Structure 1
Amino acid sequence: MTMPDPYSQPQEPQQPYQQPAPPPYAPYPPQPYGYPPYVPPRPTNGMAIAAMICGIVGVCSPIGILGLIFGSIAKRQIRETGEQGEGMATAGVVLGWIGVAATIVLIAYYIIMFAFIGSAVNELENGDWYSDFPTDEPTWALNLIGVL
């Protein structure tokens, strides 16, 4: 009887050959050192950046008009070139419209205040304003500014 060799590898029972399951996704093509391919990020549109900055700065000033203009131009360029910055361009347009509305309100405020101050100065120049105003009539303020 022969003794089995203690240094030999144990033999596994042989099974029929089975192919390995395919991976759930397509593997990367072979690259040096096993790294995946580098895909550079898309560039960001410069007009979109300018639109957002002008929109933020111009929320309460006439510079918001520039944000509106730059944002519209940037959106068209982004559609044509596929660059990044759609959100910044949209922010520039929205803040630009807010800036335009704020500028219109501010101009209207200054016009109304100029009219009020002008009518008050006219009443003071007449010299008899202290005898006419205020009265028990609720329309004395309208008389003061010259509406009635």
Structure 2
Amino acid sequence: MSQPPEPDQPPSPYEPPPSPYGQPQYGPPGETGQPPYGQYGEPYPGQPAYGQPSYEQPGQPPHGQQWGQQPPYTPQVPYGQYGPPSPPGGGGGGGGTNVLAILSLVFAFVFAPAGIVLGHLAKRQVRTSGEQGEQLANWGLILSYIFTGLYLLACCGWLALALWAGSDSQYT
């Protein structure tokens, strides 16, 4: 039988030191009175087993997490709707300047016949959609017709000059 060491004697090196947290519980789980946490294949209480659904909604925080929750997403706009509708009838411009009206004015200087076609298309779109650009389409049409007329006069003049130059060589 071993007797407790006397206070003046050091403890035996073969005995474990006393724990400041109380006596440790050794032995198989269940005998110690503590739940069997950490056993292989068993989940912690309140958690689903590996591979089992957790029944949490997507976008929601995990169970037990209350702080820092993400606000719900705004609903998605149905397909084909892009915001509030533009005011009907124009009234000073519905959605900016018509692109075809701008292109009509540009093509009046680059290739005037294309400017004529784009100007007429732009005027029709401006009437139906209520966009701005009526003045640009008008100027694109005016300049395109003027430059097309000048091109036709230049081509006819060049053709007349070529015929006239060719006809003089026969009589000399």
Taking structure 1 as the reference length, the TM-score comes to 0.50
TM-score between the two structures when normalised by the length of structure 2: 0.43
More helix per residue: 1
Compare relative contact order (CA 8 Å, sep 6+) and give the higher one, 1 or 2. 1
